[in-house]
Amino acid sequence: MSFLLQIKQLVAGWQQPATQPVDLTLAAGEIVGLTGPNGVGKSTLLAALAGRAKVFSGSIEQRPGLRLALQTQDVPPVDGLPLSGRELLALTGATADRLPPWLAERLDLRLDRLSGGQRHYLALWAILQAPADLVLLDEPTNNLDAAGVAHLTAHLRERAEAGAGMIVVSHDAAFVEGVCDRVLVLGACNVE
Amino acid sequence: MWSDLFLVPFLTGLCLAIVLPLLGCYLRLRDEWLAALAYSHVAAAGALLALVVAIPPAVGGIAAAGLAGAGKRIFAGRLAGGASYALLLLGGWAVAVLLAANHPMAERLGHALFDGQLYFSGNEQLWLVAVCGLIALLILRALSKHLLLAHVYPDFFRIRGLRAWPTQGGFDLLAALLLALATMSMGVMGAFALVFIPPWLAFRRARNWRSGLRLALLIGLLAYVTAFLVALSLDQPFGPVLALVLILAGLVIA
């Protein structure tokens, strides 16, 4: 099996179908972007790949033993929790190597003492750097400044060169253009 | 005070003062601090019910709380948002008060459970609490990483194939059994005070999770020893004194 993931005519949703039929094959080391207007089911598609959303038709085939990591738009609930950045990374098995300096020096602070952007990037990093073959990212550039987006772009390419496959949902056209090998544009759902 | 008469109750409470604040940190992590009150009330009701039907109260209390902890997940879908704990609390309280009102022996035990009298603990209870407390510490240590992961990254937890049992279901059962044991030894509110206040203060002050656990443990131990000495020297019920000491600590530290 040469691919990490193969999707054929997949229609996913929650109570009812929320995507058009999607075909996608992802190889190791490849980054695919998912774009499209709001409401076409980009996040739902990621949720279906992660086993959260319902598959109404079509199929998902994964390489046996595939290790997944999923970053959602939900903010980790760390307010009022005495959890440091270093402890957060340890939870997912992520390494702190190559963290940007502006974050590396704050690793021992509580997460609820960090700014929104710092907290978001650290929470994202914990998923990105977790041992995984396929990483699913949902709007990873939210709350990031230009330096954060630049660091993330470079790091995703490094991660892909090391063999990880990635599917990235984003509205940030420049980011998608800069980081993805291919882009799949989802259209409105016509499924009844 | 170091005669057997007081040493055994002191050591029994000491074991609980070590394990309850740590348990409370994980309950607070899951926003389930109300569980402490719920399981304590269910345990009290179970103990009184056992007494009425001529079964050892400790067995009844532990069994009732254990059933509540294990059964909670069956109704989790319908009882989200802490409703399960509110219902358990109210149900436990109602059954306990009704039993105490209608049975003279249950009334005496009910007073002891709700007043929080630590001084009636015997050797058997000490051994039970010590062994169960040690086992609970080992289980908490083993579950710690997964409990944190399930809270911070629930999707990552599930996507990696980590099961709700033993991490979440097992923790529910552990919390129920420990709180039942604590209720039998130091009463409903004494147990609740040790589960709630030290973790609350630790979460406000600690720099990270490990130091939070240490701080909760330290606060719990200091408050317990202080309360035991004060209650003994002033001949007062232990539970309310412990609650007042912890409240005072809370006002100073928070």
Could you tell me whether strands A54-62 and A3-13 are parallel, antiparallel, or unpaired per DSSP bridges? Answer: antiparallel
Phi, psi of B93 (to 5 degrees): -65, -45
**Per mean pLDDT, which range of A55-59, A186-190, B113-117 is the poorest?**
A186-190
- Give me the residues paired with residue A24 across strands: A7
Judge if ipTM > 0.95. Answer: no
| Nearest-angstrom CA–CA distance, B28 and B2 | 35
* Inter-chain residue contact B209 with A87, CB threshold 8 Å: yes
Read off the pLDDT of residues B163-189 as tens digits, 9 standing for 90 and up.
Answer: 777 888 889 899 999 999 999 899 999
Q: Does the beta-carbon distance from A77 to B203 stay under 8 Å?
A: no
B161 touches chain A (CB under 8 A): no
The tens digit of pLDDT for each residue in B226-240 reads: 999 999 999 999 999
pLDDT band for position A191 (cuts 50, 70, 90):
very low
Query: What kind and span of H or E run contains A91?
Result: helix A85-92
For residues B107-121, average pLDDT: 81
pLDDT at position A188: 63
Q: Tell me: pLDDT of A189 over 60.
A: no
Q: How high is the pLDDT of residue A190?
A: 46
Helix (H) or strand (E) holding B113: helix B104-115
Residue B178 has φ and ψ, to the nearest 5°, of -65, -40
CB contact under 8 A, A70 and B156: yes
State pLDDT tens for residues B184-198: 899 999 999 999 999
The residue of chain A with its CA nearest to that of B202 is: A82
Is the per-residue pLDDT at B70 higher than 90? no
Q: What one-letter code names the amino acid at A67? A: R
Q: Is there a contact between A167 and A137 (Cβ–Cβ < 8 Å)?
A: yes
Mean pLDDT of B127-140: 96
The residue-averaged pLDDT of B189-210 equals: 96
Mutate to test the interface with A, among B33, B146, B153 (most CBs of A within 10 A): B153
Helix, strand, coil distribution of chain B in percent, nearest 5? 85, 0, 15
Position B213: which residue type?
A: L
Task: State pLDDT tens for residues A56-76.
Answer: 999 999 999 999 999 999 889
Picking from B200, B209, B253 by the largest number of A CB atoms within 10 A of its own CB, the best residue to mutate is B209
